Chain A
Amino acid sequence: MRPKRPVSLVIGAALVGLVVAAALVSLVWTPHDYEAIDVAQRFLPPSAEHWLGTDQFGRDVVSQLMAGARSSVAIAFVAVLLGGVVGSLMGLVAASAGGLVEDAVMRLTDFSLAFPALLFAIMLGALFGPSFANAVVAIAFISVPVFARVVRGAALQVRSQDYVLAARAGARTPAHILWDHVVPNVLPAITVLATIEFAIAILVEAALSYLGLGVQPPTPSWGRMLAQAQTLLYLAPQLAIYPGLCIMIAVLGFNMLGDGLRDAADPRLTEGR
């Protein structure tokens, strides 16, 4: 009666697998050198040689897209890891410390949620010049408050159930209780959230690259490919279509994987976001 769960998990995993595989394979092999510029070969239509044709500099589009997957996945991965660790720690600390600390952490998340994320990224770019690291920091900044809030909420819920029990069971320190009871119970929430944040990270990375704030050439990036293709709409509309589709596939994949994981872990988590 419920065909959706396995379906979204399977489709999500398949799409994510495709993107990650493309990213990994591009480390050792791409059909062509994605940096090789040959203006005479530009705007070639798809062929056996160039499966999706070539771009405005005569570079192979498939190779560019594969290497672009690498940028997207790498930035999203590092950013979500960073944002997830920092945010989750903040959430756990807030939940277990309570009182002033909790208030302070929550106000901090209020503050960062009130700060327009895109503006932050633009300013960061203006401050340090655009780079991989800046894109990571900007994206992590966006996800930190989300992690902090969700983890705090989940931790409070777990704690209200386990705390009394644990305290009665023996003289355990709060840190032990945190580690033994809260962390394992909060972990599914973090995992699910991480997948969804991963999808968001890929979208934000694309937007940053689109604005010229992401990884720098010659490292390809879907967002920059899109930005460059924008003026070529009349000449080679396909160049704007491919990277957009890639972004869509990656985001779709991570979202569906997240949905599937969430349903598998606990359907109640749906309310979290």
Chain B
Amino acid sequence: MTRFFLRRSAGFVATLFGVSFVVFWVMNVVPGDPALVILGIDSTPEAQEALRRLLGLDQPFALRYLAWLAGMLVGDFGTSYAFRVPVADLIVERLPLTLSLAMTGMTVTIVLALGLGVLAAANHNRPVDWSVMLVSQVGIAVPAFWLSILLVIIFAVHLRWLPPGGFPGWSDPLGAARALVLPTIALAAVQSAVLARVVRASLLEVARLDFVRTARASGLARSRILWLHMLPNALVPIVTIVGMQFANVLTGTIVIENVFSLPGLGRLVFQAISNRDLPLVQALVVLFATIVVVMNFLVDIAYGVIDPKLRPAA
């Protein structure tokens, strides 16, 4: 078990290291001078030079990268060029929104997908099954940003049930919840369509196994067998996809937050890249990558929880 953790952690650190280096390097060669972006086209070269010195941009690349790494080790993510406040503060400020969006998106995805997938599998090769499959096939094909636009037209512009965008802050829980409804639907629609198909397929796979017959033969109800016997056995592929989808949802928020004017990490990363705000981009990308890697790790752990055969030897 310890070995397993050690190996995973080593891979984890290596991945993050690689990601951070690539980002740092790319952000360095990308055309665009943060000082110029911040000061605008009417600024004097002298002021730009002064700002570059202030931001430490006059230091050589390697030195800056090492300094950044050293800072990371002691938990200092640096100071944003454009916002002029610690990067950690900016992230802490915006993480809750993005995480809640990703969480609600994932929750809706899972609930919807399990419902539809189980429904389809339980009615295999019947009209219900075909309709679910058709709906999910269409769902997969819908571009999330287009769906977002359609949702805004229908629910915000015409029906005026929900706000078209913006976020009133957590101090207004009802408003916050309302603001998250449409983005959540936009995020979850596509993902749940994908997941529902996986749920159905792996349930059908499991349905062929003999233990399902055994359970029926012992008198258990079909619904109980479906949910408590078959579904757990179908979970390995489902969890794998859920893990991948969490990453998708997380990057999906980049687009969704822009469409719905939500002040989350997705908007922030967009802004940070266009401002050439290296410390911020760096921290955000590393954060995204961390979440993805941790998610993969959790998925691996989940395999063991689900299936005793897959538990790493003690």
Judging by beta carbons under 8 Å apart, are B141 and A247 in contact? yes
Of A107, A207, A271, the residue contacting B143 (CB under 8 A) is A207
Judging by beta carbons under 8 Å apart, are B19 and A111 in contact? yes
CB closest chain-B residue, reference A118: B251
Chain A residue contacts of B157, Cβ below 8 A: 233-234
Give the CA-CA distance A255 to B142 in the complex, in Å. Answer: 12
Tell me if B36 is interfacial: C-beta within 8 Å of chain A: no
Judging by beta carbons under 8 Å apart, are A244 and B146 in contact? yes
Judging by beta carbons under 8 Å apart, are A115 and B146 in contact? no
Question: Given contacts A1-B125, A244-B143, A244-B150, are A123 and B15 in contact (CB under 8 A)?
Answer: no
Question: Given contacts A113-B292, A114-B293, A255-B137, are A123 and B18 in contact (CB under 8 A)?
Answer: no
Chain B residue contacts of A111, Cβ below 8 A: 15, 18-19
CB closest chain-B residue, reference A8: B137
Judging by beta carbons under 8 Å apart, are A203 and B143 in contact? yes
Give the CA-CA distance A234 to B292 in the complex, in Å. Answer: 39
Tell me if B289 is interfacial: C-beta within 8 Å of chain A: yes
Of A127, A226, A252, the residue contacting B146 (CB under 8 A) is A226
How many A residues touch the partner, as a band? 35 or more
Tell me if A199 is interfacial: C-beta within 8 Å of chain B: yes
- Expressed in whole angstroms, the minimum distance between the Cβ of B274 and any Cβ of chain A is 8
Chain A residue contacts of B60, Cβ below 8 A: none
Judging by beta carbons under 8 Å apart, are B285 and A116 in contact? yes
Tell me if A119 is interfacial: C-beta within 8 Å of chain B: yes
Within residues 93 to 116 of chain A, which ones have a CB less than 8 A from any CB in chain B? Answer: 107, 110-111, 113-116
- Expressed in whole angstroms, the minimum distance between the Cβ of A254 and any Cβ of chain B is 9
Give the CA-CA distance A210 to B64 in the complex, in Å. Answer: 34
Within residues 2 to 60 of chain B, which ones have a CB less than 8 A from any CB in chain A? Answer: 11, 14-15, 18-19, 22-23, 26-27, 29-32
| Chain A positions 111 through 144: 1 when the CB is less than 8 Å from some CB of chain B, otherwise 0 | 1011111110011001100000000000000000
| Chain B positions 108 through 149: 1 when the CB is less than 8 Å from some CB of chain A, otherwise 0 | 000000000000000001000010010001101111111001
**Taking chain A's interface residues, is the majority helix, strand, or loop, or is none over half, making it mixed?**
helix
CB closest chain-B residue, reference A12: B137
Chain B residue contacts of A61, Cβ below 8 A: none
Tell me if A173 is interfacial: C-beta within 8 Å of chain B: no
| Chain A positions 230 through 249: 1 when the CB is less than 8 Å from some CB of chain B, otherwise 0 | 10011001001101100111
Tell me if A270 is interfacial: C-beta within 8 Å of chain B: yes
CB closest chain-B residue, reference A103: B11
Of A2, A127, A240, A251, the residue contacting B29 (CB under 8 A) is A127
Within residues 129 to 165 of chain A, which ones have a CB less than 8 A from any CB in chain B? Answer: none
Give the CA-CA distance A183 to B11 in the complex, in Å. Answer: 30
Tell me if A256 is interfacial: C-beta within 8 Å of chain B: yes
Question: Given contacts A116-B288, A127-B29, A271-B205, are A233 and B153 in contact (CB under 8 A)?
Answer: yes
Chain A residue contacts of B22, Cβ below 8 A: 115
Tell me if B65 is interfacial: C-beta within 8 Å of chain A: no
CB closest chain-B residue, reference A7: B130
Judging by beta carbons under 8 Å apart, are B30 and A256 in contact? no
- Expressed in whole angstroms, the minimum distance between the Cβ of A68 and any Cβ of chain B is 13
| Chain A positions 184 through 219: 1 when the CB is less than 8 Å from some CB of chain B, otherwise 0 | 000000000000000100010011001100000000
Judging by beta carbons under 8 Å apart, are B26 and A127 in contact? yes
Give the CA-CA distance A203 to B191 in the complex, in Å. Answer: 14
Tell me if A32 is interfacial: C-beta within 8 Å of chain B: no
Question: Given contacts A115-B22, A115-B289, A206-B143, are A230 and B137 in contact (CB under 8 A)?
Answer: no
Q: List residues of A whose CB falls within 8 A of some B CB.
A: 1-2, 4, 8, 107, 110-111, 113-119, 122-123, 126-127, 199, 203, 206-207, 210-211, 226, 230, 233-234, 237, 240-241, 243-244, 247-252, 255-256, 259, 270-271
In the complex, the 10 A-B pairs of residues with the closest C-beta atoms, listed nearest first: A251-B141, A244-B146, A252-B141, A116-B251, A248-B141, A114-B292, A114-B289, A126-B30, A127-B30, A116-B288
24 residue pairs of the A-B complex, CB under 8 angstroms, read A115-B19, A115-B289, A116-B288, A119-B269, A126-B30, A126-B31, A126-B274, A127-B26, A127-B31, A199-B141, A206-B143, A207-B145, A207-B255, A210-B143, A233-B149, A233-B152, A237-B153, A244-B146, A247-B143, A247-B146, A251-B141, A252-B137, A252-B141, A259-B137
If A116-B254, A211-B255, A247-B143 are given as contacts, then 16 extra A-B residue pairs at C-beta distance below 8 Å, sorted by A number, are A107-B14, A114-B292, A115-B285, A116-B285, A119-B254, A126-B274, A226-B143, A233-B152, A240-B146, A240-B153, A244-B149, A249-B141, A250-B141, A252-B138, A252-B141, A271-B237
